[in-house]
Structure 1
Amino acid sequence: MAELNAYIVEQAWFAPWFRVQSSFATNADTQVTVQTDNSVPWLWNIAPAA
């Protein structure tokens, strides 16, 4: 298993090769905080603007 793990890591099987473009629309009454690790904001980061 250690050899298999080393091979998979060396071959970069888990390297990201694409990223979905993040697109969403809001209005002036809505504030959205975008996450760096997610292509769309989490629901709890969408709130009324202050």
Structure 2
Amino acid sequence: MEKPPTDVAKLLEQWMEWERGDETPGRVLANLKTGGLPDLLRSLVGPEPEADS
């Protein structure tokens, strides 16, 4: 089963909930993680360089 694409607007709204004090930091981090923030950051960074063997 494929993950749906990351909804960047939803990630921003989740972040803003923390900034307004509506949500605890732990809950916000959990929401950002399940909302696809790690995948978004990986896509912005690009492929990881291969390690030298």
TM-score, normalized by length of structure 2? 0.31
Specify which structure has the higher proportion of helix. 2
Q: Report 1 or 2 for greater relative contact order, CA contacts < 8 Å, sequence distance ≥ 6.
A: 2
Specify which structure has the higher proportion of strand. 1
Structure of greater Rg? 1
TM-score, normalized by length of structure 1? 0.33
